[in-house]
Structure 1
Amino acid sequence: MTKDKSASWAAYYDKLRDRPPRRTLLAALDAFGETPPDALALDLGCGDGRDVIEMLRRGWRVVAVDSEPAALARLQERPLPPDAALTPVLARLEEVPLPLGVRLVNSSFAMPLCEPDAFRALWDRIREGLPAGGRFSGQWYGPKDSWFGRPGMTFLGRDEALALLDGMHLEMFEEEEDDGVTPRGTAKHWHIFHIVARK
């Protein structure tokens, strides 16, 4: 990683440091009710751990995956709950197999950063790897997003997204379209699907 790229990611994580866990993750965790015995979660594109910490706090074991060393370094610098069972993995999320026994796959704003073939292959592995009652939580991007057309990213129309989720119970499927800014302060038009799906 170049020094400039490392500094850019460090500034990004500084912006996000005090933000709460995403509501998709909270909805998925709440839907489980009591934390399942030996509960194992996979966080794909974990960043500096705003979602990971909440899963650990609730007693989940977490495999946290990110391709940025700065992300995992920040995660491991955070105060972790006592007896936290955290396994950080430095890898691109589309390259990581689902751990045996995973009950929750969380990917907040990260899956769309895969190119389309890798996105669909990853989604196939998630659907196949989750047991009955397992959940996916995260965000996918729609075609009206201002990043539409960027190479190496995936954008799905509403019907395409619903087709990929067919056969799962949708506990949340909310479409958001709004003008805003990125965590880096850049103006952006967002088109997002917020998803919690149970197998």
Structure 2
Amino acid sequence: MTNTKRDWNSYYNAIENRPPRRTILTALAGFEESGFAIDLGCGTGRDTEELLTQNWTVLAIDQETETIQRLQAKFEDHPQLTTQVSSFEDLKFPQAVDLINASFTLPFCSPVAFPRVWETIFNSLKKGGRFCGHLFGDRDSWRDKPFIHCQTRFQVETLLKPYKIELLEEEEHSGQTPLGEARDWHIFHIVAQKNE
């Protein structure tokens, strides 16, 4: 979602057939009925597909035009899917959104753009709406990369003060990226409801 040197096509090829993430499933379980969702940094649609399966109307946003084209081809003009190509810097959301999903997206938002994007997410959600997604922690081995924005535990908790926290799980482990790069992961898995 920002101008990075990552090989996004290879990354999306590597994860294309993976199931929806636990954060989106947890958030969806909190709703009694379907509504309107934004999938921010949708990629090839692993979470978008689950939203559509559960009869949600979805605005899927990604900065990569080719990725959006692949998503459109995959869902063949699905009547409940709208797509948008946008960077974080140009991001504009509609109001009265029930759910905003940002799976492994916001860490790629620049420190300059992040405060505005986070505020936009909050302001766009209905009261009782939910945010779900991930942030990278300050012990992540990518913390010094120019395209990564990391948070301390205190910073994450501060960001979530206006919300009712339904899931805040901190994970640290050594492993690999989907492209086989060695990595020490420090991740916050989040589901939070905007206070009514």
TM-score by length of 1: 0.89
Cα distance in 1 for partners of 2:157, 2:89 equals: 21
1:139 and 1:96 map into 2 onto residues whose CA distance is 18
The answer for the alignment partner of 2:8 in structure 1 is 9
Measured against aligned partners, the alpha-carbon deviations of 1:66-109 in whole angstroms (never above 9, x if no partner) come to 011221122122246x9541111111134222212211000000
What is the CA–CA distance in structure 1 between the aligned matches of 2:94 and 2:73, rounded to whole Å?
24
Match of 2:64 among 42, 63, 68: 68
Amino acid at match of 1:126: I
Consecutive unaligned residues in structure 1, runs of 5 or more: none
The match for 2:143 among 123, 145, 148 is: 148
Partner of 1:59: 55
- The Cα of 1:167 is off from its aligned counterpart by 2.6
Alpha-carbon distance change, 10 to 116 in structure 1, aligned in 2, over 3 angstroms: closer
Pair 1:54–1:84, CA change in 2 (3 A) = farther
Match of 2:27, as an amino acid? A
Structure 2 residue matching 1:32: 3-state secondary structure? coil
The corresponding residue for 2:120 is 125
**Amino acid across the alignment from 1:124:** E
Of 87, 95, 98, which aligns to 2:93?
Answer: 98
Equivalent pair of 2:88/2:113 in contact (CA under 8 Å):
no
1:180 aligns with 2:175: yes
- Residues of 2 paired with 1:134 and 1:94: CA distance? 24
Contact 2:95–2:123 (CA under 8 A) maintained in structure 1: no
> Counterpart in 2 of 1:31?
30
Instruction: Give, in whole Å, the separation in 2 of the partners of 1:185 and 1:22.
Output: 20
| Residue 130 (structure 1) shift | 1.0
Rounded to whole Å, the distance in 2 between the matches of 1:87 and 1:117 is 28
How many residue pairs match? The answer is 190
* Cα distance in 2 for residues equivalent to 1:110 and 1:193: 12
Report the Cα offset of residue 152 of structure 1. Answer: 3.4
Contact 1:139 1:195 (8 Å CA) reproduced: yes
> Higher strand proportion, which one?
2
Point out where structure 2 has 5 or more consecutive residues left out of the alignment: none
Identity %: 44
Amino acid at match of 1:56: L
1:78 aligned to which of 74, 80, 88: 74
Distance 1:89 1:173, change over 3 A: same
**Separation in 2 of the partners of 1:143 and 1:83?**
39
User: Counterpart of 1:55 in structure 2: which amino acid?
Assistant: L
